[in-house]
Amino acid sequence: MDEKRVEHGRNSLVWMDSITKKFGTITALKDVNFGVESGEVRALLGDNGAGKSTLIKVLMGIHQPTSGQIYIEGKPVSIRSPRHAREMGIEAVYQDLALVNLMSIGRNFFLGREMVRQFGPIQWLDIRRMEDITRKSLHDIGIEVRSVHERVGSLSGGERQSIAIGRGVYFGAKVLILDEPTSALSVAETRKVLHYIENARERGLAVIFITHNVHHVYMVADSYTIIRQGRSVGTYFKGELSEDDIADLITGDREV
Amino acid sequence: MSTAVTQKSRLRSRFGLAVLRKFFAASTVSGPLFGLIVIFILFSLFVPKFFTFRSVSGILNAITLTGMITVGVTMLMITGEFDLSVGSVMAIGGYIYGTLSMQGQPGLGLFLAILIPAGLGAINGLLYVTTGIPSFIVTLGTKYFYRGMLWVITAGTMLQTVDRLPIYSVFNGRLNALNNLLPQANFRTSLLWLVLMVLIFQYILTRTRFGNHALAVGGNAGAALGQGVNVKRVRVLTFIITGMMAGFTGVMLFSQYYTVRVASGDGLELSAIAAAVVGGTLITGGAGSVWGALIGAIIISTLRTGVVLMDIPFIPADNFEAIVGVTIVLAAILNNYLRKPS
Q: pLDDT for B97-133, tens place per residue?
A: 999 999 999 999 999 999 999 999 999 999 999 999 9
Could you give the CA distance from residue A104 to residue B77 in angstroms, rounded to a whole number? 19
> Who wins on pLDDT, A5 or B39?
B39
Residue of chain B whose alpha carbon sits nearest to that of A114: B209
Given a contact cutoff of 8 angstroms between Cβ atoms, the answer to whether A91 and A176 are in contact is yes
Given a contact cutoff of 8 angstroms between Cβ atoms, the answer to whether B20 and B283 are in contact is no
Could you give the CA distance from residue A55 to residue A213 in angstroms, rounded to a whole number? 17
Q: Lowest-confidence range among A15-29, A40-54, B109-123, B306-320?
A: B306-320
Q: What is the pLDDT of residues B234-256, one digit of tens each?
A: 999 999 999 999 999 999 999 99
Cβ-Cβ contacts under 8 Å, B287 against chain A: 102
One-letter amino acid for residue A4 of the chain: K
Cβ-Cβ contacts under 8 Å, A59 against chain B: none
- Which percentage of chain A shows pLDDT scores above 90? 41
Q: If we measure between CA atoms, which residue out of A41, A54, A4, A3 comes closest to residue A232?
A: A54
Indicate the residue of B208, B216, B286 with minimum beta-carbon distance to A125: B208
| Residue ranges of chain B whose CB lies within 8 Å of a chain A CB | 2, 6, 25, 203, 207-209, 212-213, 215-216, 218-220, 222-230, 282, 286-287, 339-341
Q: What is the pLDDT of residues A201-241, one digit of tens each?
A: 998 999 999 988 888 888 889 998 999 998 988 888 888 88
Indicate the residue of B222, B224, B286 with minimum beta-carbon distance to A111: B224
B246 contacts: CB under 8 Å, gap ≥ 6:
B69, B72, B83, B85, B86, B87, B89, B90, B93, B117, B121
CA distance A4 to chain B (A): 32
Q: What is the pLDDT of residues A126-178, one digit of tens each?
A: 999 999 999 998 888 778 888 899 899 888 888 888 888 889 888 888 999 99
Confidence of residue A2 (pLDDT cuts 50, 70, 90): very low
Residue contact A100–B219, C-beta within 8 A: yes
Q: Lowest-confidence range among A50-59, B90-99, B132-141, B164-173?
A: B164-173
Could you give the CA distance from residue A84 to residue A86 in angstroms, rounded to a whole number? 5
Residue contact B212–A107, C-beta within 8 A: yes
Could you give the CA distance from residue A48 to residue A251 in angstroms, rounded to a whole number? 10
CB neighbour class for A79 (10 Å; exposed up to 12, middle 13-18, buried from 19): buried
| Residue ranges of chain A whose CB lies within 8 Å of a chain B CB | 60, 62, 81-83, 86, 92, 94, 96-103, 107, 111-114, 116, 123-125, 127, 151, 153-154, 156, 186, 189
In this prediction, residue A236 carries a pLDDT of 87
Q: In whole numbers, what is the pLDDT of chain A averaged over residues?
A: 87
Residue of chain B whose alpha carbon sits nearest to that of A154: B341
Pairing of strands A223-228, A41-45: parallel
Indicate the residue of B2, B25, B227 with minimum beta-carbon distance to A112: B227
Indicate the residue of A97, A153, A189 with minimum beta-carbon distance to B222: A97
Average pLDDT, integer, range B45-66? 88
Residue contact A151–B341, C-beta within 8 A: yes
In this prediction, residue B169 carries a pLDDT of 84
